[in-house]
Every structure is written in structure tokens, then in C-alpha cells.
Amino acid sequence: MIDLKLLHYLDTYLTDNRRERFNRVLSQRTRHFTVATEDVYQLHNTSAVIRSCDVFGVQDIHVVEEINSKRIDREIAMGAQKWVDLHRYNSVKSCISELKAKGYQIVATTPHANDCDLQDFDVTKQSCFFFGRETEGLSQEVLDEADCFLKIPMSGFTESLNISVSAAIILQHVTAKLKTTDVAWQLTEEEQNEKRLDWIKKTIKSHEDIIKRFYSDS
């Protein structure tokens, strides 16, 4: 539990515009869907996926780095890494285990014999969309653990899309469709307060001094 008195106090340091924007963005945030990337080689691809998560209101992204371990490209992510929660793993096994423990079904974004077209996907189920490496795609381990397989229908000669483009298309579709359902997809009040406090700290450069002063005066 966060200190609500501290939160309200720090909130007074925000401009009206910033406070209004936080409220608006938080009201559209969700953990009903999340995203995982598996050993993506090109740094800008992972960064672009993070940016798409922020744009479409997905609060968490899970990055598996068994082979490729690189820092997030701040320029490509356009600051999005400040507003979403990044979870990093050294193995696919640990990532999937944690996601399933939280109730997520594992959705492999790849053509498969039993795949589902994007427009037919059941958005009411809590889901994690897995995206694989640029050339090899998802590992056999992810495919074996997947609960379902999802593909984007294509009509041209090209049979695949860049990972960041695929993520953007899928997230835009499923989040828009989710908001037309009766599913309780928004963050809880406690989760919103936690993120608000986190974002305020990332916004106010002198927040540590302000917090010390708050508690010393209390």
C-alpha cells in the first residue's frame, strides 16, 4: 500500500496539464493484455514494441534475453520506457511460468495449423502476446507452451511483417475491441495510485528531497 497523503502532496507539484494527462492516461491503462518479446536481436524493434505498448495502454512488457541482452534504445522508445513496466528474464521458462501464474494465456503470434485470425481472437481472455526473433521467429519452447496461435491476415506477396509492426497492429485491434466488452480491463484504484506515484517521481527531478521534507514536517 502506498502512502496516499504523500501521493496527494506530491500531486500538488504537478501542473494542471500534467495532472490531467496522468488521469486520462491512467484511465486507459490495462493489465488484461501484456506483451513478451523473445531474444529480439534488433534493438530498435524491442524499443518500438515498448512504444506501442504505451501508445495502446498496455502497462507491462516482458523481455526474454536468453541470447541477446541489450539496453533499451531511448531514442526509439521515445521515453515510453518511463511509463510502462519492463520485466526482464534470462529464460523463456521463467517468463512463461510467471505469466501463467498470473493467469495469462500464452498467445504465440505466428501462423500455425490451429491458428486464429486476428479478427476472431477472443479478447475477453487475459492474454500475453509473444513475439519472436526477426528471422527464426518464436522458439519451439514457446510454441510448445502456447495456449493458442494468432496470425494477422495478409493479402499480398509478402508473408511476414516486422515484429514492431505486428505488435502495433495486434495491440491496436485487441485493445479497441476490449473496450467494447463488459470485461473489467482497467487498472484497479490501487494500481492507478501506484503508477501515479511512480510517474510523479519520474517527473519531478527533486522528488527525493521533497519526500524527505514531507516526512520531516509530518
The reply to whether 3 falls in a domain is no
Are 131 and 152 contacting, i.e. CB atoms less than 8 angstroms apart? Answer: no
Query: Same structural domain for residues 81 and 143?
Result: yes
The reply to whether 2 falls in a domain is no
pLDDT value, residue 115 = 84
Are 56 and 110 contacting, i.e. CB atoms less than 8 angstroms apart? Answer: no
Query: Same structural domain for residues 115 and 209?
Result: no
The reply to whether 91 falls in a domain is yes
Domain that holds residue 52: 29-187
- Could you give the strand order of the β-sheet that contains 116-117, starting from the edge strand earlier in sequence? 85-89, 60-64, 33-38, 127-131, 105-109, 148-151, 116-117
Query: Same structural domain for residues 131 and 192?
Result: no
Query: Same structural domain for residues 143 and 200?
Result: no
Query: Same structural domain for residues 112 and 201?
Result: no
Count of all residues that appear for the chain in the document: 218
The reply to whether 9 falls in a domain is no
Q: Which residues of the chain have pLDDT under 50?
A: none
Query: Same structural domain for residues 179 and 192?
Result: no
Give the model confidence (pLDDT) of 50-94 as tens digits: 999 999 999 999 999 877 566 665 655 567 788 999 998 989 999
Query: Same structural domain for residues 162 and 56?
Result: yes
Give the model confidence (pLDDT) of 144-158 as tens digits: 999 999 998 888 877
Query: Same structural domain for residues 215 and 135?
Result: no
pLDDT value, residue 1 = 83
pLDDT value, residue 77 = 58
Query: Same structural domain for residues 180 and 192?
Result: no
Query: Same structural domain for residues 146 and 210?
Result: no
Strand partners, 35: 61, 129
Query: Same structural domain for residues 194 and 156?
Result: no
81 DSSP 8-state letter: G
pLDDT value, residue 114 = 75
CATH number of the domain that residue 90 is part of: 3.40.1280.10
The reply to whether 119 falls in a domain is yes
* % the chain with pLDDT above 90: 68
The reply to whether 110 falls in a domain is yes
pLDDT value, residue 71 = 60
Q: Is 8 exposed, middle or buried (0-12, 13-18, 19+ CB in 10 A)?
A: exposed
**Number of domains observed in the structure of the chain:** 2
The reply to whether 201 falls in a domain is yes
The reply to whether 37 falls in a domain is yes
Query: Same structural domain for residues 118 and 210?
Result: no
pLDDT value, residue 155 = 80
